[in-house]
Amino acid sequence: MSHRKDAGQRSPAWGQPPSAVRPGAARLSTMLIVLAIASFTALAQQTAVVKPAEDLPPGLMQAKATTSCLECHEARIILQQRLSKATWTKEVDKMIKWGAVVDASNRDALIDYLSSSFSPDRPPYEPPRTSVEKNSLRKSK
Amino acid sequence: MSGAALAASAAPSFFSWAAAAQGGSLEVPVEDGMIVRSFRFVDLETPVEYFNTWLTPVPHFFVRNHMHEPSELNASDLQAKDWRLTVGGEVEKPFTLTLSELSKLETHSVVNTLECAGNGRSLHRPQVPGVQWGKGAVSTARFSGPRLRDVLQRTAVKPAGKHVMFRGLDEVPGKVPPFIRSIPLEKALDSNTLVATQMNGAPLTKHHGFPARALVPGWIGAASCKWLTEIKILESEFAGNFMSPAYRFPNEPVTPGDAVKPEDTHPLTALSVKSVISGPLDGASVKPGKVAVHGAAWAGEGDIVKVEVSTDGGVTWSSASLGHDQAHYAWRLWNYDWNAKGGDYTILSRATDSQGRTQPATPIWNPSGYLYNAIDQVKIHVA
């Protein structure tokens, strides 16, 4: 018999803002609405609610990276990478070719921001799961 | 509640992508427990503990989107009235099909294990860019629809036609190259290559390519273009980003971390031989006694002939029993009953296929992290 890890009790991973773990006021109100709907229906169709997006970490280029990168894709795509500066340089230049708006004067700073925030020595990003509660993975002692 | 909230809701559309864009929460109907690699674009990984049924229920089937899903296709419109499939290029007479016309062709079913070429990318060292899939960008379903060759037989392919290009309706952001790929004509004419309209007996869901997708069995998932809208016969392989430089593999083994010149690579086609342990899970604590070590194994265009398990870190190996359910392009579930005594263990699984291929002990590193298929392992504690 195997015992599953409790994904819901993982410590907040580096790269995840506290809001990803601790519901804020907006999340609480959403949850209340969800519970209200649940109380009005006996339907058991279950749905998963996960935080739709995360933030890039603080840094001098946080705002510019948010504008340049998150226009096309969400932050998780970046948060999960662990790459060397040489590889980040290739990625940034590819994205500029693909339409990311990065002022030439900001290119090097953006590469520095990404390669210092998401370097290979950082601990791995812990992705969320949909509907963690239902599949709550409990440790059996 | 923690992490994510669970709701029982009769109004699945209540929370929408629009709400998500405004900073609200996002609802993903019935995809319970899926690992979220990304929502924008949708990339959802199947946890390995779900590898316990031969056919993966559609809500647990991994999702890999390169771009936005087509906004004009509404999966509740089962007729997809405005959808068309055009067939052109090196053919005598180009034509267009509606979904209704497509559905009049004879239906064929193929149980296929679909695996993203990047499955396992996060396990490569040094790490490489891309969606950082763990072990679960792979699932199995019964795909049904007309054979691609029956579609193509409505006209004659000119002698110059050698490759078949698929274009999907993915919505492209910025200047990102469109998701267009091609397969050789020979594979396109194989009796198991489909224009699939169903998965596990139901119409495709939007995440999986509604109303029609290519199904190129045994090959990397990217070959099976979703939201298919155009088939074009070409004289040569399609020249575009998703054929080159993407989805190519070095011709010769490379030292991990080394760059590889484009001319020293070839396009990815069939999947490798591979097994994954779906239980016990890595890091688990189990009680002494009988422990079922189990998982799934697949081999693209090969058949799994053997799965071996080691409970002593690879010193000795024992054969696992293979599940009864089997089909040429589908994974085999496997099980090994182990009499566990107290201690810490590294359990390994190793598959061998009908082409004589065996999983390597060391990952075959490549710059984009494709086709990870090293011997699988989990570490567990017995007490």
User: How big is the A-B interface in CB pairs under 8 Å?
Assistant: 215
Low-confidence ranges of chain B (pLDDT < 70): 1-31
Separation between Cα atoms, residue B197 and residue B204, nearest integer Å: 6
The average pLDDT across A78-84 equals 98
- Predicted confidence at residue B28, as pLDDT, reads 52
What letter represents residue B12's amino acid?
A: P
Choose, out of B17, B48, B127, B131, the residue to mutate when testing the contact with A (most A CBs < 10 Å).
B127
- Predicted confidence at residue B3, as pLDDT, reads 29
Cis peptide before B126 (omega within 30 of 0): yes
**Residue B221 gets which letter from DSSP?**
G
* Phi-psi label, residue A108: left if phi above 0, alpha if psi -120 to 50, beta otherwise: alpha
> What are A11-67's pLDDT values in tens digits?
333 333 333 333 333 444 444 444 444 333 323 344 556 777 899 999 999 999 999
For residue A41, which residues of chain B lie inside 8 Å, CB to CB? 8-10
| CB distance B75 to B210 below 8 Å | yes
For the cut 70, the answer to whether the pLDDT of residue A2 exceeds it is no
Nearest CA in chain B to A45: B8
Sign of the Cα torsion B346, B347, B351, B352 reads: positive
* HEC profile of A8-55: HHCCCCCCCCHHHCCCCHHHHHHHHHHHHHHHHCCCCCEEEEECCCCC
- Predicted confidence at residue A130, as pLDDT, reads 86
For the cut 90, the answer to whether the pLDDT of residue A6 exceeds it is no
Percentage of the residues of chain A whose pLDDT score is greater than 90 = 53
> What are A110-140's pLDDT values in tens digits?
999 999 999 999 999 999 998 644 433 333 3
Min Cα distance B17 → chain A (Å) is 9
- Predicted confidence at residue A132, as pLDDT, reads 44
Average pLDDT across chain A, whole number: 71
CB-based contact (8 Å) between B32 and chain A? yes
**Considering CB atoms only, which of A9, A34, A127 is closest to B9?**
A34
- Predicted confidence at residue A131, as pLDDT, reads 67
- Predicted confidence at residue B93, as pLDDT, reads 97
Instruction: Describe chain A by its helix, strand, coil percentages, rounded to 5.
Output: 45, 5, 50
Nearest to A47 by CA among B58, B75, B10: B10
| CB distance B212 to B225 below 8 Å | no
- Predicted confidence at residue B157, as pLDDT, reads 97
| CB distance B282 to B379 below 8 Å | yes
The pTM assigned to this predicted structure is 0.85
Please report, for residues B117, B135, B370, the alpha-carbon distance to residue A77 in angstroms, rounded to integers and kept in the order given: 17, 17, 17
CB-based contact (8 Å) between B262 and chain A? no
Nearest to B43 by CA among B176, B137, B179: B137
User: Which residues does B19 contact at the CB level (< 8 Å), separation at least 6?
Assistant: B25, B26
